[in-house]
Structure 1
């Protein structure tokens, strides 16, 4: 039987949990397969994240494993349902790296997004011209990736969530450096600043600026995004990017560390009102 080889975060998370549950019960894959009336190959595909699992099949496995933890069951079943949903991002499946598309699907399903961007305006807030300059001038342009137009279109499509019927609550702390770094010159940055001012007016967007005057701060290791995935932010996931790869952090203790760090950054950042004043001042200087 053929199956989709693309491993998404949801499939990996479900697979890792199913493997842990099986091992905790002392079952080999062969023994578990007999209990579940599944082939060893099928169970292996689920555990390795190579195959999407239907919610009813997942429920059957959890029942057979005797899993009664209501929160765990709901979280896994929610991930399984989300993983089978269609979305605009699937139009980019063959044109962009799987991890990039996977992030957009998680972002689109988030009920709460917390963003720390010390040096660059976050993708959800970028104007088209700013996004194009960032994509064409960053390390992404050095890879064997699809053309710049595709990547720009993808980034702008991600921004749909800010105008959706039920948009996520977005809390963002941007560094003053993200406003002052001249990406494309004064006119580009002025329009980018105006874009930030407009987004800051949305009732579900909280935008704060971390000024240079704050000095040393707990976000010194760089940008990160915390996604509260699913209804009621059932699962918190931290997304981190580097020049060569992106990865997710979802161990509760690690997520708590990032959440605490974000809270501290919000405390030392300018208030929303003072942040708006700073953005307006920088725009007027452009």
Structure 2
């Protein structure tokens, strides 16, 4: 299946909006197609998220439906514009699930990333050896050696984000458990802790450790990533992963809840300076 035929987050959001606008105006797909001078099949493909839409075509539809809210229009047009961009992840189209590719595309286009990981090192900060150990041991499905290599290459490919000009601002809160859990063995962990120390010195990285002593905290339900993009971080979505599936949370009130949770985690975490000291101390004891 071609990537353009896949139902991605952006296309689903645009499609849901177009369906809602059409129904609010009491139009069937056939009637809307006549108004827009488009086939019903074409309109259905947009609404179902199966087909990418060009920003100029989206603007025409919004104009025809009388959608004048500038915030709504800007968000949808931004989604349409970004959704048509190519990226390195297209090389993995036939080997990985669409949702995995979709996350990389959203991540690469973001201006700010806020990530909380209670037990593991965040993917954008992992060494190749650590990534291999995590990917080889994760989940219950049997993976072929080829599938494992593909997943590792993909995860490391995501780290190209650090080389963007300019790179996004990346704020990470790691649970202290991520520094102790022996992923791949002592040597792998020593290299991983060394990478955390090195990468924490980069100007676009803000790394904090949430210590065991923090006790109960607002992130006990698990890891999450907040991706912000567009002018003034206009578009925000929360990426949540589980053993069975991954999903996106984008209702403004829900995103605000995650953002407040992350803010509180940062307040409970060690400062950047003290976080580096904690990493060094744990490494010296290993």
TM-score by length of 2: 0.96
Question: Which residues of structure 1 form unaligned runs of 5+?
Answer: none
Q: Is the 8 A contact 2:3 2:90 kept in 1?
A: no
How far apart in 2 are the matches of 1:133 and 1:104? 21
How far apart in 2 are the matches of 1:145 and 1:108? 27
Question: Residues 114 and 20 (structure 1 numbering): CA distance in 2 closer, same or farther, change over 3 Å?
Answer: same
Residue of structure 2 in register with 1:205 after alignment: 205
How far apart in 2 are the matches of 1:144 and 1:244? 19
How far apart in 1 are the matches of 2:270 and 2:4? 47
Question: Residues 146 and 52 (structure 1 numbering): CA distance in 2 closer, same or farther, change over 3 Å?
Answer: farther
Quote how far apart the aligned CAs of 1:29 are.
1.1
Quote how far apart the aligned CAs of 1:5 are.
2.9
Question: Which residues of structure 2 form unaligned runs of 5+?
Answer: none
Deviations 1:39-90 (A, max 9, x none): 1111110000000001111010011011111111111111111111110000
How far apart in 1 are the matches of 2:25 and 2:167? 41
Deviations 1:196-245 (A, max 9, x none): 11111011110000000000000010000000033432211000000111
How far apart in 2 are the matches of 1:35 and 1:145? 53
Match runs of 1:103-118 below 5 Å: 103-118=103-118
Q: Is the 8 A contact 2:3 2:93 kept in 1?
A: no
Residue of structure 1 in register with 2:76 after alignment: 76
Residue of structure 1 in register with 2:175 after alignment: 175
Residue of structure 1 in register with 2:188 after alignment: 188
Residue of structure 2 in register with 1:35 after alignment: 35
Q: Residue 111 of structure 2: SS of its match in structure 1?
A: strand
Q: Residue 258 of structure 2: SS of its match in structure 1?
A: helix
TM-score by length of 1: 0.96
Question: Residues 144 and 25 (structure 1 numbering): CA distance in 2 closer, same or farther, change over 3 Å?
Answer: farther
Residue of structure 2 in register with 1:139 after alignment: 139
How far apart in 2 are the matches of 1:21 and 1:284? 60
Residue of structure 2 in register with 1:119 after alignment: 119
How many equivalent pairs are there?
Answer: 285
